[in-house]
Amino acid sequence: MKMMKKPFSMQVDLEQFIPATDKDKEYMVQMRPSSTFFRDGLKRLLKNKVATAAFIIIVIITLSSIIIPFFWPYSYDQQLGVVPRKPVDPSFNNLAPFEYGETEQKRIAEGESVFPHIFGTDSAGRDYFIRIVYGTRISLAVGFFASIIVLIIGLTIGSIAGYFGGKIDLVIMRIVDIIYSLPDMLMVILLASVLKLVLDLEGTILEKIGSNIISLFIVFALLYWVSMSRLIRGQILSLREQEYVLSSQATGAKGSWIIKKHLLPNCISVIIISTALQIPNAIFTESYLSFLGLGVNAPMPSLGSLASDALNGITTYTYRLIIPAVVISLIVLSLNLFGDGLRDAFDPKLNG
Amino acid sequence: MNTKTLKYIIKRLLLALLTIWVVITVTFFVMHAVPGGPFLGEKAISAEAQAALEAKYGLNKPLFEQYLTYLRDVVFKFDFGPSIKQRGRMVIDILSDGFRTSAKLGIMAVAGSTVLGVILGALAALRRNKLIDKIIMVVTTAFVSMPSFIMGSLLLAVFAVSLGWFPANGSTSSGLVLPVITLALYPMAYITRLTRSSMLDVLGQDYIRTAKAKGVPARKVIFKHALKNSLIPVITYLGPELAYIVTGSLVVEQIFAVPGIGRAFVSSITNRDYTMIMGTTIVLAILIVVMNLVSDICYKIADPRINLE
């Protein structure tokens, strides 16, 4: 640095104030197209190898649980040893993997090809592989729909409490506090054990789904919305202080409009993330209840009820327990990892 | 303790009382929605016998009066009435029979999971991004994703059935090893992750650097400054942990045939022993609510900086 003549006066270097040349301007132009919040998040998500792998596993499991039952030659409740007008053939019960029943062996001897029982059959002679596939389908469906129910209720109540505030908020939040401090699993067991007796579904469309699953959904709707609504309320409380909400109010927009147009889209990432993390939770609860005998109605299988049934023959047929155990752990693990990945990618507050 | 803390404690106490009241009320009315009411089995009985039973249990009185009687009995006498499936036994006697075993199981699981979880978590934090940290994180992630009944069944299949190291029946004390492990693995994994993240947080604080800079030996920094402060979040988990262990013990006691409250509860669900379901739900709920209260208050006292509002 050269010596300054007057150290305390502003020494302006005029060279810094000449107009920029075209070359300089070109340097400043951004060559990259602007990215949206969603695209940014997606990019971050795809960079996360664990989350991507988890997502692929979820997709594979879901698709196969939907598609396989269409072409599989056996159905989940078909007892292979039971043929109309013939005595029950017990050789079909408890087949080991890739074994065949007596009539099937005869057919093979005659040169026919018989579709193999990949996981063998259960004690009632039902193909175990298709039962696993069906059980996966039920568990995934219950998890998914239960989370949607929780989402809708939590979203509605949370946004009302957050937006209107005051007395409405106070009352709702007291109710939330109480439900939140209830021991949820005990209440779930209590409700599930009674609801299936109380519900009268005969003749309705819901009859096919079964009283147990319906009561499961009701239980979820009653108890699990609280944490979701707490989350949404917190988000909305901070968002509604923003200027654009004020300007919307000033131009005469109604409350429902502001919630729908301004507030919810701005907390969408939080909503998606917590819904994604809710699904494994619901699958957990369903399998737990099925294990206690409060889940799906027999003969419909779920992964929990399959594991519970397998416990009786654990000494001889250990694989029948291990298969649903592995599937359920895989589903829950990948959903959790994917949810974590989503949170890392889409929650800008955690990006720092 | 300042007035703010005191106010918080009083508020939490009131909320806990309110929660317990809600539990009792919900349980009572849900159970009375069962066709025939909780005191009658599903077997058809003669009209006189039914009338006699109704008179005995006060079922002929208006519902609200029955509710008040039940509430009074529960609150002042801790009396949940007789079991309707195990003739001549009171619900509270069945519960206190199972309580000793279940409490033993629960306390061992809590103690084991907390100690191991803190050690593993601290280890992972101190060896951050090293191989041991990665192994610990992968294993704990796997444990967190495994439902307790799956874990229990697998342990039973491997260690009791295939290897024969432990008895499959949980009524002896060596038979309690597998149930305790089953119950402890999930909370242990959770506490490990909790301790790891809070320890990492604490290790980045200024006072740790100050301590290191002024020449405090590494061991003292870790145990006295870092570990002690990173244990505070673990306190809050004790309440949810107990809730987990209570619900987990329902299936675990079933899998290993442990004669505790959990098994009695599950068999009362399958037998539709409604008074037993009511009694067990209320007792376990009170236990969980009280434990949550205690752990939250301890948290508040241990770290006055935290605002729990």
Reported as a single tens digit per residue, the pLDDT across A269-298 is 788 888 888 888 888 888 888 888 777 777
- Whether B116 has its CB under 8 Å from any CB of chain A: the answer is no
B94-272 has which fold? MetI-like fold (1.10.3720)
CB burial of A206-244 (b: ≥16 within 10 Å; e: otherwise) equals eeebbbbbbbbbebbebbbbbbbbbbbbebbbebbeeee
pLDDT digits (tens, 9 = 90+) for B42-101: 555 667 777 776 776 667 778 888 888 888 888 888 888 777 777 778 888 888 888 888
Give the nearest partner residue to A318 out of B23, B149, B161, using CB atoms. B161
Chain A contact set for B16 (CB, 8 A) = 181
First to last CA, chain B: 17
A77-81: average pLDDT: 73
Q: What is the pLDDT of residue A56?
A: 93
Range from A132-146, B145-159, B193-207 carrying the lowest mean pLDDT: B145-159
- In A, minimum Cα distance to B158 occurs at A318
Reduce the DSSP state of residue A121 to 3 states and report it: strand
Q: What is the pLDDT of residue B309?
A: 46
Range from A106-120, A229-243, A246-260 carrying the lowest mean pLDDT: A106-120
B253: closest CA of chain A, how far (Å):
12
Give the nearest partner residue to B19 out of A181, A291, A329, using CB atoms. A181
Among A90, A92, A122, residue whose Cα is nearest residue A312: A122
CB contact under 8 Å between A315 and B161, yes or no, is: yes
Among B298, B307, B276, B305, residue whose Cα is nearest residue B89: B276
> Binning pLDDT at 50, 70 and 90, where does residue B116 land?
very high
AA identity, residue A73: P
B150-169: average pLDDT: 81
Nearest-10 crossing angle of helices A128-164, A166-181: 150
Range from B42-51, B157-166, B203-212 carrying the lowest mean pLDDT: B42-51
Q: Is the pLDDT of residue A225 over 50?
A: yes
CA-CA distance, B51 to B230, in Å (whole number)? Answer: 62
Among A258, A235, A224, residue whose Cα is nearest residue A162: A235
Q: What is the pLDDT of residue A80?
A: 72
Cβ distance A275 to A175 under 8 Å? no
A45 exposure class (CB count in 10 Å sphere: 0-12, 13-18, 19+)? middle
pLDDT digits (tens, 9 = 90+) for B251-260: 888 888 888 8
User: Could you tell me which residue, B37 or A352, shows the higher pLDDT?
Assistant: B37
B124: closest CA of chain A, how far (Å):
20
B287: closest CA of chain A, how far (Å):
10
> Binning pLDDT at 50, 70 and 90, where does residue A96 land?
confident
CB contact under 8 Å between B269 and A294, yes or no, is: yes
> Binning pLDDT at 50, 70 and 90, where does residue B111 land?
very high
Range from A44-58, A203-217, B11-25, B76-90 carrying the lowest mean pLDDT: A203-217
Give the nearest partner residue to A325 out of B27, B153, B270, using CB atoms. B153
pLDDT digits (tens, 9 = 90+) for A160-206: 888 888 898 889 888 888 888 888 788 888 887 787 777 766 666 66
Q: Is the pLDDT of residue A115 over 80?
A: no
- In B, minimum Cα distance to A198 occurs at B34
- Whether B18 has its CB under 8 Å from any CB of chain A: the answer is yes
DSSP class per residue in A186-217 = HHHHHHHHHHHHH---TTSGGGGT-HHHHHHH
Residue B114 makes CB contacts below 8 A (sequence gap 6+) with: B187, B188, B191, B234, B238
Average pLDDT of every residue of chain B: 83
CA-CA distance, B43 to B23, in Å (whole number)? Answer: 29
CA-CA distance, B22 to B26, in Å (whole number)? Answer: 6
A315: closest CA of chain B, how far (Å):
6
CB contact under 8 Å between A307 and B33, yes or no, is: no
Q: Is the pLDDT of residue A60 over 90?
A: yes
Give the nearest partner residue to B150 out of A187, A307, A318, using CB atoms. A307
Reduce the DSSP state of residue A97 to 3 states and report it: coil
Range from A2-6, A70-74, A205-209, A221-225 carrying the lowest mean pLDDT: A2-6
Q: Is the pLDDT of residue B2 over 90?
A: no
AA identity, residue B62: P
CB count in 10 Å sphere of residue A83: 12
